[in-house]
């Protein structure tokens, strides 16, 4: 249950770097490394022909749940009665466990006068 709460409230970002249609790198919680093929700006500003960059970056954001607090402000009378009776019966289950009388401690075991296996002539082989 802890993992469900952890993963439902956690927000994270997945960054992906594509060269053409090929996935080159993915990263979670940090920026993705590029493949180094990005187009640089031309040094000549007069050039009107610019080659299109083949690399693209894609980012997927997953927003976790922010509100987890369950409101206990409104409880019906039946819910309150159930909670009180459950707590009362749970506490009373453990009363008096230390005072468990044991009558075996007062009386010693009987003394063995004869060996019963010799009288019945039954021997373990």
* Three-class secondary structure of residue 5 per DSSP: helix
Q: Which residue from 49, 48, 20, 47 is spatially nearest to 35, judged by alpha carbons?
A: 20
Residue 98 has a pLDDT of 66
Instruction: Answer whether residue 85 shows pLDDT above 90.
Output: yes
pTM of the predicted structure, to 2 decimals? 0.40
Question: Buried (b) or exposed (e) across 35-64, using 16+ Cβ within 10 A?
Answer: eeeeeeeeeeeeeeeeeeeeeeeeeeeeee
Decide if 26 contacts 43 (C-beta within 8 A): no
Q: What distance, in Å, lies between the first and last C-alpha atoms of the chain?
A: 56
Query: How sure is the predictor about 86, in pLDDT bands with cuts at 50, 70 and 90?
Result: very high
What's residue 45's pLDDT?
53
Q: What is the mean pLDDT of the chain?
A: 76
- At 13-69, the pLDDT tens digits run 889 988 888 888 888 877 787 776 655 555 555 444 445 568 888 888 888 877 766
Among 3, 54, 59, 8, residue whose Cα is nearest residue 31: 59
């Amino acid at each position: 249950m802890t993992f469900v709460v952890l993963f439902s409230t956690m927000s994270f970002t997945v960054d992906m770097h594509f060269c053409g249609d090929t996935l080159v790198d993915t990263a979670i919680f940090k920026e993705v490394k590029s493949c180094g093929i990005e187009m640089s700006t031309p040094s000549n500003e007069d050039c009107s022909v610019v080659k299109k960059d083949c690399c693209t970056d894609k980012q997927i954001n997953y927003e976790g749940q922010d509100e987890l607090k369950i409101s206990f402000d409104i409880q019906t009378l039946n819910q309150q009665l159930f909670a009180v009776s459950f707590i009362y019966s749970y506490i009373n289950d453990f009363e008096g466990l230390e005072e468990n009388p044991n009558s075996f401690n007062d009386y010693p075991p009987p003394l063995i006068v004869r060996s019963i296996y010799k009288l019945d002539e039954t021997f373990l082989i």
